[in-house]
Amino acid sequence: MQPPLPPLRGRGSTEVGVRAGPSSSALGVVPAGGGVSGAGGKDGRGVRAGLAGPSRLAPSSAGPSVMAAAPPAQEGERLVAVVPDTAGGGGVALVVTHGGGGRVTDAPTILAPPGRSRMEELLAADGGGGGGSSRGGGGGGVELMFADDLEPEDDEGAVEYKWSLVQPPPARFLELVTQMKYRLLEGSGECIYEIGVTDDGRARGLSPDALTASLATLSHMAEELHAECTVVRRARATSGEVDAMVASVLVRQLPETLEDYLDLRVAVAGNVDSGKSTLIGVLTGCGALDNGRGRARAQVFTHKHEMESGRTSSVSQQIMGFGASGAVVNYTGVRSLTWADVVARAAKIVTFFDLAGHEKYLRTTVFGLTAHAPDYCMLVIGANMGVLRMTKEHLAIALALKVPVVVAITKIDRAPAHVYEATVTHIQKLLKSPGARKLPVLVKSADELAMCAQNIVHDRVVPIFSVSNVTGEGLDLLRGFLNLAPSRRNWAEYRSSPTEFAIDETFLVPGVGTVVSGTCSAGSVGVGQSLSLGPDHSGAYVSVIVKSVHYKRVPVRRVVAGQAGSLALKKVKRATVRKGMVMLDTRVAPGAVWEFTAEVLVLYHGTTIRPGYQPVIHCAAVRQAARVVTIDKEVVRTGDRALLRFCFCYRPEHIKADARFVLREGKTKGIGRVLDIARTC
């Protein structure tokens, strides 16, 4: 069997938030005896299966090309054999699942030829057959051959390679702690350590004893920084000794104050009735599943008419907390926790924005995608409904705004196999189409989800999860992904900048007065702080004082860059505040823009766009009609790219050069980037 790893910080299991099926390669666990490592191969290393596929994988250099002898199989073990591909010249791997006693239960699966990149292998395994017949996580479906080595280590970012950490001397230990502190800062409180991997990315591996000792050191380093370690993947090393192992470890800092919370924002979009509210209800509830007739979504709705019609019309928020070890803190089994309870128990918080699926609320949905600065857009598709017009609309907007997309195919309990497969094929085709140019990965194992979580921010990868809110199938993989997925921005960099807080909602709270909610995009906002609020209709800003601050409905001293919060303002009338206004550091000279020039790509327009045309501009929390003043071409049609100069119709706004926006008017849609802010006041 695989050499045992020590539980870190008193945890027995190292498999975080993920339960895979018995025959799945969860966390790279292919029984040593069942695999063929060491069974041959010209470099004496044989063939691997279910090995670590960590971040930024380099193409595999080891191209096994010999027949591997499979040892006797036990129930559930997988055997891997590599045979020469006489037609293609490269090797192909055959994977079979053994039912014990020499009985093969799965048909052999042909894997990607060696020498291809990890991503190409995934595509090869996922493509073609509509994603295979295995749904959700587990189930003995397509098995993948993993690339072994990584790209060389990056000095920046939240991933560190360490070949060995066996008993470092005290001075070295202190250096290692400092380095971990840097990596944690880069990852907003989270980082990944690849143990057994050298700086050049070679998965050299360590003996089981050395790995145990290295993990113990890592755990001590984390302790110094009030962080916890969790092994998210273990695998056999491919470039080192026969028994050598590598491990990927998630290091997560335990928040000491509310300012330290890692806040991940996920906007949930998709067609009406695809199961968005239900999925959020199931993920953030007390652990109960849906009944298929709307039970779980009830807790997500905010308005009475939503309860009655079952249709989301406003953007509501729900939170899910992960403990330091990756367990979901919401799941008490008996009652739903208050936000304050979730915040108190969690080390990482995921905020879901439930967007409306119906076309008549598209305005609100676009606002949700632009104003809340989501880290990810979760596109929900009903397996039985397929990819519909609104699915494509929402996908196009997310792609235009450069928000990484995660697909969740729901209702797999309800869809016949061929309908589910048609849905998977359709979304894969759409994602690979020239307009999107993404790499869809149908996630079926913990290894794939870890690889997707580590690559999603910088890569073109789009993970696809298949889930049922009624049976719970596939939900563990989705939770595992959310646990590992990093924040899209390194907010630490913005925390020392002058304060900027964008308002996306205003309220009048009895006994409190005017309250504004929004996102702090730079600096911090604290109780008693004086800020400039504006711009108003004339472009002016007024000085306001913050009376109190709430973060996730919990009173706090301040919110910092990267956090959403609600601020009660002293002596401000609600009528004078609107969505799209900002609150800025009083030392900054605030500006307001009437006219701007932008590069626009027209996604759809019935006829031609000419000067005088007035679409609505959605730019962060700004939403206002703007008139086209000039165009650098005579006419602009669907698919055209042009430089347009806009003038806001009613008031100047706070927008910045380089900001991305969506342009809408009826069925007309376009995307743009502000190049130059022209007339300011």
Ligand X SMILES: Nc1nc2c(ncn2[C@@H]2O[C@H](COP(=O)(O)OP(=O)(O)OP(=O)(O)O)[C@@H](O)[C@H]2O)c(=O)[nH]1
- Name the site residues for ligand X (rule: CB under 6 A): 270, 272-278, 290, 292-294, 297, 310-312, 356-358, 410-411, 413-414, 468-470
Distances (CA, A) of 242 to 58, 63, 248, 267, 481: 21, 16, 19, 45, 31
Q: Both tokens of residue 61?
A: 């250099």
Query: Could you tell me the smallest distance in angstroms from the CB atom of residue 315 to ligand X?
Result: 11
Q: Both tokens of residue 489?
A: 């921005």
Beta carbon nearer to ligand X, 37 or 468: 468
Query: Could you tell me the smallest distance in angstroms from the CB atom of residue 273 to ligand X?
Result: 4
Beta carbon nearer to ligand X, 233 or 411: 411
Query: Could you tell me the smallest distance in angstroms from the CB atom of residue 60 to ligand X?
Result: 37
Query: Could you tell me the smallest distance in angstroms from the CB atom of residue 135 to ligand X?
Result: 11
Angle ∠(375,640,613) on CA atoms, nearest 5? 90
Query: Could you tell me the smallest distance in angstroms from the CB atom of residue 278 to ligand X?
Result: 3
Query: Could you tell me the smallest distance in angstroms from the CB atom of residue 306 to ligand X?
Result: 8
- For the CA atoms of 122, 245, 4, 50, what is the dihedral angle to 10 degrees? 20
Query: Could you tell me the smallest distance in angstroms from the CB atom of residue 545 to ligand X?
Result: 39
Query: Could you tell me the smallest distance in angstroms from the CB atom of residue 414 to ligand X?
Result: 4
Beta carbon nearer to ligand X, 103 or 305: 305
Secondary structure of 174-186 as H, E, C letters: HHHHHHHHHHHHH
Beta carbon nearer to ligand X, 212 or 314: 314
Beta carbon nearer to ligand X, 272 or 449: 272
Q: Alpha-carbon distance 284 to 319, whole Å? A: 6
Beta carbon nearer to ligand X, 33 or 292: 292
Secondary structure of 315-373 as H, E, C letters: CEEEEEEECCCCCECCCCCCCCCCHHHHHHHCCEEEEEEECCCCHHHHHHHHHHHHHCC
Beta carbon nearer to ligand X, 392 or 651: 392
Query: Could you tell me the smallest distance in angstroms from the CB atom of residue 481 to ligand X?
Result: 17
DSSP element (H, E) containing 365 = helix 362-371
List phi, psi (to 5°) of 40: 160, -160
Q: Alpha-carbon distance 207 to 201, whole Å? A: 18
Concatenate the DSSP letters of all residues of 562-625 into one string: T-EEEEEETT--GGG--TT-EEEETTS----BSEEEEEEEEEE-SS-B-TT--PEEEETTEEEE
Beta carbon nearer to ligand X, 84 or 292: 292
Beta carbon nearer to ligand X, 6 or 310: 310
Q: Which residue is nearest to ligand X (CB)?
A: 357
Q: Which residue has the tokens 């502000």?
A: 674
Beta carbon nearer to ligand X, 350 or 408: 408
Query: Could you tell me the smallest distance in angstroms from the CB atom of residue 362 to ligand X?
Result: 11
**For the purposes of burial, counting CB atoms within 10 Å of the CB of 90, is it exposed (0-12), middle (13-18) or buried (19 or more)?**
middle
Alpha-carbon 410 to chain mean position: 18
Q: Tell me how long the chain is.
A: 681
Q: Both tokens of residue 317?
A: 């928020």
Alpha-helical runs (H) found in 232-336: 276-284, 304-309
Q: Alpha-carbon distance 409 to 219, whole Å? A: 37
